[in-house]
Amino acid sequence: MSTPLAWDNVLIEYVKTVMDELGLDTFFETGTYQGQTSLYFANQGYKVITVEIDKNTYLNNLEKFKGKRIKSFNLSSEVLLFFYVSLADASKTFFYL
């Protein structure tokens, strides 16, 4: 299992800088884990889309995400990525896979 992006201060600041310089407004994350990365980007004012295949992990994060700009999904990342890229304007999105 990889470490959540939010636990690496240098990397997360770099990603934020890249997003700002490119004018990206949405952070798309696969593998929500404990939700720290999603919460960080939501608290920075970005829209967040996160997908988690494990139902218990997904359910544990729902309470944390209440009132935040986070859309959380409990399904396979391949399914959500296909529909998101096909149906949404993904040009303003940073994908963290």
For the stretch 3-40, pLDDT in tens is 567 678 889 899 999 999 999 999 999 999 999 999 99
Contact 92, 28 (CB under 8 A): no
Residue 28 β-bridge partners: 49, 95
pLDDT band at residue 1 using 50, 70 and 90 as cut-offs: very low
Please tell me the pTM assigned to this model.
0.89
Structure tokens at 13: 């600041």
Q: Which two three-digit tokens encode residue 48?
A: 């967040």
- Encode pLDDT of 60-97 as tens digits: 999 999 999 999 999 999 989 888 888 888 899 999 98
Rounded Cα gap, residues 23 and 21, in angstroms = 6
Paired tokens of 96: 């963290």
